[in-house]
């Protein structure tokens, strides 16, 4: 039975490799979303200053509580990671290392980028499709609002492919291990809204999609695009993250 959509990694060599890939340091404060049965937690705790583990599945509480009892530097948070006020975690996380539940992988990454400015790196296992989406480039089929929002703040690298056979129960998809390294703060609220509205109607021009989604009037966007030297009829998927940032600044100035 899959507990709340979770698939548990069973390959001990791969678990060890993930911890090595995370390059954890003794003064790191780690956030782990989806502690599961504690396989990663057990490996991370001895290496770092503090580990915050969030787990929604109450049936796993006993296993994680045992780990917390053995390691004084482990805080166990029972609840939905998407509802936890991450900015209140004390000490504040400096890195995220997780086998992310498939159902929340993308929003969880975006939430940590936005709410945890002190996090400098992420080493996270996600569904292969999500990994491709987050590291995709303008013009590709996978490129969308999550790609832009993540890349506005971070460099994204796929570290390794993960076969579905190493999970219990075995999922229907393969996974990948991603590394994100923060280069800039999270996009401001207005820019995040602009990006999401730009991709709301992918078959429309960017200007048309923004207007239909309740954003700036079509002509205002077209004028801003022309001022930036861009095609006024361009679609959202053609713009690089930096061009979205420039467009937001131009529209705000107007």
What integer pLDDT is reported at residue 3 of this predicted model? 41
CATH code of the domain in which 238 resides: 1.10.8.100
Task: Tell me the C-alpha distance between 36 and 59, whole Å.
Answer: 10
- Is the same domain home to 136 and 202? no
Clarify whether residues 100 and 219 are in a common domain.
no
Check which CATH number belongs to the domain holding 45 and give it. 3.40.50.150
Residue position matching structure tokens 């303008």: 138
Encode pLDDT of 68-124 as tens digits: 999 999 999 999 999 999 999 999 999 999 999 999 999 999 999 999 999 999 999
Residues 141 and 205 in one domain: no
Using the predicted structure, report yes or no on whether residue 51 has a pLDDT greater than 90: yes
Q: What is the pLDDT of residue 82?
A: 97
- In angstroms, the CA 31 to CA 93 distance is 6
Task: Give the model's pLDDT for residue 253.
Answer: 86
Say if residue 32 is in the same domain as residue 129. yes
Q: Is 25 in the same domain as 124?
A: yes
Token pair 């080493």 is at which residue? 123
Note the pLDDT tens digit of each residue in 202-254. 999 999 999 999 999 999 999 999 999 999 999 999 999 999 999 999 999 87
pLDDT at 2 (0 to 100) = 38
Closest CA to 104 of 87, 79, 121: 79
Q: What is the DSSP string of 70-109?
A: H-TTEEEEES-TTTS-GGG-SSPPSEEEEE--GGGHHHHH
Return the ∠ at Cα 129 (arms to 198 and 22), rounded to 5°. 105
Long-range contacts formed by 204-207: CB under 8 A, 24+ apart:
204/235, 205/232, 205/233, 205/234, 205/235, 206/234, 206/235, 206/236, 206/239, 207/232, 207/233
Choose one of 120, 152, 182: the last residue of a domain: 182
How many domains does the chain fold into? 2
Domain that holds residue 125: 3-182
Clarify whether residues 96 and 195 are in a common domain: no
* Residue 208 sits in the same domain as residue 151: no
Biggest CA–CA distance in the chain, Å, is 62
Both 171 and 235 in a single domain? Answer: no
End-of-domain residue from the set 182, 201, 229: 182
State which of 153, 182, 211 marks the end of a domain.
Answer: 182
Same domain, 27 and 137: yes
Q: What's the pLDDT score for residue 123?
A: 98
Residue % of the chain over a pLDDT of 90: 87
Residues 23, 54: Cα–Cα separation, whole Å = 21
Task: Indicate if 39 and 17 belong to the same structural domain.
Answer: yes
Looking at the structure, tell me whether residues 240 and 121 fall in a common domain.
no
Residues 160 and 91 in one domain: yes
pLDDT surpasses 90 at 1: no
Which pLDDT tens digit goes with each residue over 169-194?
A: 888 889 999 999 999 999 999 999 99
**Nearest-5° angle of CA 86, CA 90, CA 92?**
65
Return d(Cα 250, Cα 141) in angstroms, integer: 27
Residue 182 in contact with residue 120, Cβ under 8 Å? yes
Q: Once rounded to an integer, what is the mean pLDDT over residues 140-166?
A: 96
Q: Alpha carbon 31 to chain centroid distance?
A: 13
């Amino acid at each position: 039975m899959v507990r709340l959509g979770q698939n548990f990694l069973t390959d001990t060599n791969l678990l060890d490799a993930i911890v090595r890939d995370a390059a954890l340091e003794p003064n790191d404060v780690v956030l782990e979303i989806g502690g599961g049965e504690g396989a990663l937690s057990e490996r991370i705790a001895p290496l770092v200053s503090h580990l915050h583990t969030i787990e929604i599945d109450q049936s796993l509480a006993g296993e994680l509580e045992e780990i917390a009892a053995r390691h004084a530097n482990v805080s166990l948070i029972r609840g939905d990671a998407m509802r936890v006020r991450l900015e209140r975690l004390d000490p504040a996380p400096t890195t995220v290392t997780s086998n992310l539940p498939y159902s929340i992988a993308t929003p969880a990454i975006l939430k940590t980028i936005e709410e945890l400015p002190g996090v400098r790196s992420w080493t996270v296992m996600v569904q292969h499709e999500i990994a491709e989406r987050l590291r995709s480039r303008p013009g590709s089929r996978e490129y969308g609002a999550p790609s832009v929002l993540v890349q506005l703040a971070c460099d994204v690298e796929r570290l390794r492919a993960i076969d579905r056979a190493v999970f219990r129960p075995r999922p229907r998809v393969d996974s990948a291990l991603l590394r994100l390294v923060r280069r800039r703060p999270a996009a401001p609220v207005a820019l995040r809204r602009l990006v999401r509205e730009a991709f709301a109607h992918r078959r429309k021009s960017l200007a048309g999609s923004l207007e239909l989604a309740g954003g700036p009037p079509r002509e205002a966007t077209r004028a801003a695009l022309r001022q930036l030297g861009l095609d006024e009829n361009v679609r959202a998927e053609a713009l690089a993250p930096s061009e979205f940032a420039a467009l937001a600044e131009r529209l705000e100035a107007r």
